[in-house]
Structure 1
Amino acid sequence: MASLRAGLLGVGSMGRHHARILRDIEGVELVAIADPGGDPFRVAGNVPLLSGVSELVAAGIDIAVVAIPTKFHADAALTLADAGVHTLVEKPIADDSALGHEVSEAFRARGLVGAVGHVERFNPALQQLRMRLAAGDAGSVYQIATRRQSTFPGRIGDVGVAKDLGTHDIDLTAWVAQSVYSSISAQTAFKSGRAFEDMISMTGRLASGVITSHLINWLSPMKERVTVVTGERGTFVADTATGDLTFHANGTEPLEWDSVSTFRGVSEGDTTRFAFAKREPLRGELEAFRDAVLGAETELSTMEEAVHTLEVVESALDSARQGGVLISIDRATR
């Protein structure tokens, strides 16, 4: 079978990694790269370096990856949809949910694979976590809390930390729990002197009843990527920076829990650190994109799911502007 002809739009700090992996994936041939800003990391090599999305389409591509600044996502994706090109757009899908819905609908109407790069779905720790939650290893899930903190990124100037980093946490939480959000509230801070927030604290509830909290900022002198899931049988801690997953068991009557009809408390039990293969998440995502184009079912974030994620983040920002009021997420948009 002939390889899928791939085009890459954007070879900045994220796009350069897409270029590296697209060159190495079986069944995919990277045939063209486009970036109006040139090739700052010199990743094009012998692949033609073009100026924009129209030239990329003209190169005769089957699939495309869009890794340019957020404000350009929608226009590029719509051009690729019109050309019949299956596309993976880096998160967020667009800089607002109305445009995101337009993009999602364009790919749906044309029968094309449209995916969004919520790459945490391919983090080995979160994949293990989702599998174990689905198997009931934590029992009934009560709460999912995430922390995503790091230093200030000078390269990002078109969105704030909520749309840049917060979309990761909203998507991974809904994906791990297999439930959409029903409500959200938030507080923000502006410490860098820019128009966009650089710190956000969000609390919410999923349609399943699970409560959530997310602490996200660009103001920490260290990098933290942690997801904590607390349930009746114990707590899972996923460190997505290292790919590690640990389970802290509830030591209170663990063998009789299923038959207990009243709450008997929580105590410290055994701690288990799981061993499993740790593949690079971006490689897993791009391989899944290839497989989806070839007709396979995958764990990729669909564009429709990505629109929901963006709606939740936008609702959180609306909440913050209103002093932290609780905002319901419209079920009709899901």
Structure 2
Amino acid sequence: MHVLAIQDSALIADQWLPQLQQALTMAQHQLTLLTHPHELPSAIEKTKPHLILLRLNQLTPQNIETLDHVRQAATHIPILILTQLDNAPMAVTILEPQDYFLVRNDHTTDGIMYAIHYAAERHSLLTKLKQFSVQRDFFATHDALTKLPNRFSFHQVLKRILTQARRHQHIFALLMIDLDHFKNVNDQFGHNVGDLLLKKIAQILKSIIRKKDLLIPLDSLTRLGGDEFAILVNEIKSPTDASMIAERILKNLHAPLKIKEYEISITASIGIACYPQAGTNLNALMRNADTAMYHAKKQGRDGYQFYSPNDKRAPALKKPALK
């Protein structure tokens, strides 16, 4: 553990300082002393401390300034404050919402060492809890395998885009992408390879939508489940814009993919539903994009199909023009 202490006249005069430094050294910890709080940012960057130690004996403007420097510089580091002031708890609220700890009575070496370890362990626990909370929130809206937004998150984005489209009267497209014969990959190479292939497909789709000529937001791409993905293309000028993206996806999948020691060829069938022609609500668009995708499979796979409300057979399969 590395402890960073801000040294003032009271701290220098304390007889326990050499003993504290010796105790920390014996416990294989380090103590770095600063003469001025202005040194904090560079010292934090250099030493990566686990805890900051300071003394608060008087509520002078200088000490309040020191607390403010600590608040700004030590945003993710626990702070241990030695004090005997009765109103210290009110004074140090300037540090909130950071983790800080007051030691008001036992200022012996043993007492301070105990407080240092307690503060560091408590901060470590709080940090782990925060990380767990962040991960929990992330996986509530994202697919665990590909890290793409999941179906729930995708539905929220689709609802938002629907609201915008109704308000501003623009069109958008929903592309439903299903890998062809993906079950064969799992059967032949195993589910581990199948999972790696899905992650690779996710990376390919992300790279396509982030091209400079598209720059489609990442939350518009999702793994719906299994081997099925979807992309929302907002504010398109015509359905041709959606077909261009579908062709690009199919073209990028034609090259064999290196997964472990295997080279795996995979194709996809894509169904396209455009708002408002193919539906004006979430369920209709999802259903009709899915219907168009299955038409693409029936027509031979490795292609895309637009949903047409006026033609139950849907338009003829469109194959990408490969160069």
Is the TM value for this pair above 0.5? Answer: no
Larger relative contact order, structure 1 or 2 (CA cutoff 8 Å, min sep 6): 1
Could you state the TM-score of these two structures normalised by the residue count of structure 2?
0.29
Which one has the largest radius of gyration? 2
Could you state the TM-score of these two structures normalised by the residue count of structure 1?
0.28
Which protein has the bigger strand share? 1
Which protein has the bigger helix share? 2
